[in-house]
Structure 1
Amino acid sequence: MAVVVVGGQSQNVGKTSVVAGLIAAMPEMRWTAFKLTLFGHGMCSANGEPCDCETAEHTVAVSEERDSNTGTDSARFLAAGAVRSLWVRTRTGDLAEAMPRIRKELEGAENAIFESNSILRFLRPDLYLSVVDPGVWDFKESARLYLDRADAVLVPEGVLGRPEWNGVSLKLVEGKPVLPMRPPVYVTEEVVGFVAERLGLRKKAW
């Protein structure tokens, strides 16, 4: 089984589009997809809405998407061709509580793809892609923490230039492959070819 993790610097840089694009481009992998969301400071992991509850039953929530038309990120994965799509929600700092369930779901998967940075604390994937946008100043601590572990960085048009990031050194990605995203096409032939090669898949006309 291959495990691929797609992380990124912040919201709205294309992480979900990259995951969906890889699922659609490589249907033979029969992906089980995971969307991980961490909540905190009054956000409830049971439904993603603000609340005042701190009860144990809301520490972890895992739901399987069964409708590809709901408009959620997990629905996008299903619509792209994932065999299964799961949404994992935990409070910030409580991801460890979800790992037994995640590992159980992995047992039945042919191949797995995650949208997450924080999962790298608990899993060593076969491939980790980090999605970054030099024009976006926000850079999550979880993305910075694991940036040097990325096998490649995905960047709009494949050009890092002079990023707007504060406190993040380009030395963390020095020497790493820089692969292009060309929105609305986030997964280019170069990206799919790189993933296939790193996973040891037989070359084909992608």
Structure 2
Amino acid sequence: MLVVVGGHTRNIGKTSAVCELIRSFPAQDWTAVKITQYGHSVCSANGEPCDCQTADHTLALSEERNAETGTDTSRYLAAGAARSLWLRTRQGQLAEAMPRLRMELAKAANNVLESNSVIRLLRPDLYLAVLSPGVVDFKPSAQYVLDRADAFLLTEPLQEPAWQGISQRLVLSKPHFAYTAGEPYSAELLAWLASRLNTEAPPEGSASGQRLSLL
């Protein structure tokens, strides 16, 4: 099972959504992957400012082993992921990292990826898109794959979305669920996810462990 979680911009709860999925369905033994694409003058090896243009700095894939640092990949482990990986590439060069990523994904029965752009290169079993109608920014990478979403997680009601050129009808025509970062998934969302994951839904609010309010 391959699940992708994306969203239209930063800091709207994508990482929390990944963590809650892991926490709600622990028997899946998830491998979780954070995918980051950096712009010019940022090194893919460590995410720091960099003037290098050498080929060995175009991508990096590392495994997180510490569940207590508070980074996104650390939060995956704290939520119960069996493995947590961080893939970094330069902007527009994600395709070059795919052979290496596919090797890692093949090691696990269930994977969850936090990314929008990877939708262009993989066909997941399930794509969840986090939308925050009150936040104006809408990344082109998210807009391009919006129609591929299987369901939308809405951080607030959709009556007056801030976006121009985004079809409200598209969002409402697909399964959509109220979602608050750091809070348990609703019983309705858990049941829907369980049907797609071919497993039993846990009781609402039953997932163990501390829920972080960080986005």
| TM, length-normalised to structure 1 | 0.94
* Runs of 5+ consecutive residues of structure 1 not aligned to the other structure: none
180-189 vs 34-43, which moves further: 180-189
Structure 2 counterpart of 1:19, which letter? V
Match of 1:193 in 2: 191
Match of 1:134 in 2: 133
Match of 1:156 in 2: 155
Q: In the TM superposition, what is the alpha-carbon distance from 1:47 to its structure 2 partner?
A: 0.8
CA contact (8 A) 1:14 1:186 kept: no
CA contact (8 A) 1:62 1:89 kept: yes
* Runs of 5+ consecutive residues of structure 2 not aligned to the other structure: 205-215
C-alpha distance in structure 2 between counterparts of 1:203 and 1:70, whole Å: 30
Question: For the structure 1 residues 135 and 66, does the alpha-carbon distance in structure 2 shift closer, same or farther, using more than 3 Å as the test?
Answer: same
C-alpha distance in structure 2 between counterparts of 1:144 and 1:52, whole Å: 31
Match of 1:18 in 2: 17
- Partner SS for 1:7: strand
1:165 aligns with 2:163: yes
CA contact (8 A) 1:35 1:115 kept: yes
Match of 1:4 in 2: 3
Q: In the TM superposition, what is the alpha-carbon distance from 1:167 to its structure 2 partner?
A: 2.6
Q: In the TM superposition, what is the alpha-carbon distance from 1:187 to its structure 2 partner?
A: 2.9
Q: In the TM superposition, what is the alpha-carbon distance from 1:178 to its structure 2 partner?
A: 1.2
- Partner SS for 1:192: helix
Deviations 1:85-108 (A, max 9, x none): 000000011101111111101111
How many residues get paired? 204
16-25 vs 181-190, which moves further: 181-190
CA contact (8 A) 1:17 1:186 kept: no
What is the correspondence of 1:1-206 to structure 2 with a 5 Å cutoff?
2-157=1-156, 159-185=157-183, 187-203=185-201, 205=203
What is the identity percentage for the equivalent residue pairs of Structure 1 and Structure 2?
Answer: 55
Deviations 1:128-181 (A, max 9, x none): 000000000000111101111111100025x21111112322233241111111
CA contact (8 A) 1:38 1:92 kept: yes
C-alpha distance in structure 2 between counterparts of 1:174 and 1:184, whole Å: 24
45-54 vs 8-17, which moves further: 45-54
How big is the alpha-carbon RMSD for the aligned residues of Structure 1 and Structure 2?
1.4
| TM, length-normalised to structure 2 | 0.90
